[in-house]
Amino acid sequence: MPTPPRYPFRPLHWRRLALEAQRERAQAFADAMAQRRSVRQFSRDPVPFELIELAIRAAATAPSGANQQPWTFVAVGDPTLKARIRAAAEAEERESYAHRMAPEWLEALAPLGTDWHKPHMEDAPWLIVVFEQVTGRATDESGRSRRVKHYYPKESVGIAVGLLLAALHTAGLATLVHTPSPMKFLQELLERPTNERAFCVIPVGYPAPDAQVPDIPKKPLGDVLVRK
């Protein structure tokens, strides 16, 4: 197999900030992210697709293994399709809570008050379903298509999802990361190709006026930061 040509290189577009500006930006971002919460009670107020598109554009700038960008973001706003996704997700979650989850898992979830009911999947004006492209396709000079192995697809998609959550929060929107298991129904309902595997579902919208979230702490910085 011939070695593909290297990408052309260009000067890096980057401007060094004054230290005080760096501190201000870092502090503002940390403060903003500290306000981000997982929301399960959404308003049905519409959200312009432009905001979803801009957030996905930011997420798609994430670094990825060999720059293969192994992600697909499916933005679902159709009420009928959202209802079908909710019904399928609740069926899987009902089975998980009743039979699949180990007692330790259920014990860990108990303080959060979650169960198999997922009304937020219909209430939120948008569902962003993120797919991991396990493999890709490439076309050679003769026009023949071949399968391409993707490197670190799961890690790459995880980074992109982190950027997506930050972008949506910055835009003033509420989110929730939902991972019903198994998730094959998403591939079928959204008619995605066999090389894609559902990674997560993210309901997006404005929080309901009476939305509540559990009063949970984050670990102190000293418990998660090690300086050598």
Determine the pLDDT at residue 5.
82
**In order along the chain (228 residues), what is the average pLDDT of each group of 10 residues?**
82 96 98 97 98 98 97 98 97 94 94 94 98 88 83 98 98 96 94 96 98 95 96
pTM, rounded to two decimals = 0.95
Determine the pLDDT at residue 2.
66
Determine the pLDDT at residue 100.
94
Residue type at 226? V
Determine the pLDDT at residue 137.
82
Q: Rounded CA gap, 188 and 163, in Å? A: 26
Secondary-structure class of domain 37-138+146-208 per CATH: alpha beta
Q: Which residues contact 72 (CB under 8 A, 6 or more apart)?
A: 130, 131, 133, 192, 196
Burial (CB count within 10 angstroms: exposed 0-12, middle 13-18, buried 19+), residue 81: middle
With CA atoms as reference, report the closest residue to 128 among 193, 178, 196, 94.
Answer: 178
Determine the pLDDT at residue 4.
76
Determine the pLDDT at residue 26.
98
Please give the DSSP secondary-structure letter assigned to residue 207. Answer: B
Determine the pLDDT at residue 144.
78
Domain residue ranges in the chain: 37-138+146-208
Determine the pLDDT at residue 1.
59
Contact of 149 with 61, CB cutoff 8 Å: no
| Residues present in the chain in total | 228
